[in-house]
A and B are shown apart, each in its own frame.
Chain A
Amino acid sequence: MASVTTSQKAAESSDNALSIGSIVLKAFIYLILGVWALIVVFPMLWALMTSFKTDQEIFFSPWSLPTTLVFDNFVRAWTTARLGEYFVNTLIIVIPSLFLTLLLSSMAAYVLARFEFRGRNLLTYLFLVGMIFPLFLALVPLYFVTQKLGLLDTYHGLILVYVSFSLSFTIFFLINFFRTLPKELGEAATIDGASQYDIFFRIYLPLAKPGLITMGIFNFLGQWNQYILPNMLMITNEDKNTHYVLSQGLYYLQAKQFYGSDWSGLFAAVVIVMIPTLVVYLIFNDQIEQGMTAGAVKG
């Protein structure tokens, strides 16, 4: 690890920092970064603001703040447009899927990281397929496999598909993680008479918690936001669409222009779908950055 970072370097040479040139430079930097921050944040704030307006206000005074906060937009989006149902559907799918993804990936990653056995390399290469091959190549056959097994339009079907497609990435991340854990712990426990299962569940799995948290966040975002797979596998007829997940429901709303033109309700729907991932991100942004950079820096 580098002992001195770029910003510390600058702190040392900041004695002469108050020259005109450096003030101009500073102003330039803040200007550019500020403009981009505005470009990024403003549309979201605009959507948030608009979601509290009436349709009248959206069309005739798009720039002004809402005169009164119309919470009814959210109520309509939640009930009439059935976003509440889709929200629950998404939870029903993502919670077990996340749990299974982490459990099965850590089991496989543990074995692949710590034991020598025949076929280990072949297996590792096969898991690479899921990371490199484009999803669209598998799309048509996946549809028919799911159909043959009677899993179309079912929660458990989509859960199993999510888990399967999350395995590769999660396993590779966790293999690297398990490799950093000391072997001696397991060896000592074996001498004390612990079974192999105890060693995994009592010693290594708890130690892998930071890696599991990182993968939990990444998979939560990926699975919560997933669109292509449910779009193909949750195809209940459009009148009922009882198994839709949020991203499908939102697209359906937009495509149908929310039964006529309920713009305010559609904006409210966008906010409802946007909020959970933003909350997760605000809570866990440190882990997300660490998880990203663990792989990227000198990777």
Chain B
Amino acid sequence: MSGKPKIAVYKLSSCAGCQLEFLNLEPVLLDVVGALDISYFVMAKRDNAPGPYDIGFVEGAVTCGEEIAKLKAARRDCKTLVALGSCACFGGLPSIKNWEPQREVEARVYSELWAIHSTKAYGIDQYVPVDAYLRGCPIDKGELVELIKNCLLGAAPAWRFPAVCTECKIKENVCLLIYENKPCMGPVTAAGCGALCPTYGKPCEGCRGPAHDANAPSLARIFGDLGLNAADVTRYFRKYAGTTPAFQEGAEAL
């Protein structure tokens, strides 16, 4: 790359929380701005330059035809395309609607159904090739900075995604699953968040999607033993990443 790499931040169907994490990089924000040329970031600046860009960050799930077109244009304009957050990675929260008839879901929110033309919610790699994934709801700022450094180096990040438990144990959190009998998704969810929720006494909700080689059916059976019914267990596995094969297995295990 000659000069500072140009970056673009796009938004599809999302809450904008992951984009906000860019701005929340305060301690290193100036260094980041110094290393990158933020060319297109509608939420953060008024003047946005047209492509091409070196790195594109796409936030949000794809939930309608217009977004597919927007996403394909982004893919065309960016050398490296990054899925920013769980919605872009695997559909995220919007994907909870995928297992109900589309019209029933729409009718719950909208009255003028003729104007609605949404599709099932998927991560962006359903439609375009993706070079890197930043998981989480929202993303982890440390991982974002790591990814930026790797882009500057031209290297692929050497990320590993063991279970959240590995980070939770290192923090010596008192296990919520074992000591509190709370359904915690930690044993099957990808680490990288520093076991944020369990550290504050909240069971992991699985927002970062499946850990590598996760054994979701076993955790589903453990949830069943805790007294959860099959429908509840299914909802746990579909909350953020039900579109992934691993969590699909968990959702259908009981």
Decide if A and B are genuine partners. Answer: no
Binding site for A on B (CB under 8 A): none
Binding site for B on A (CB under 8 A): none
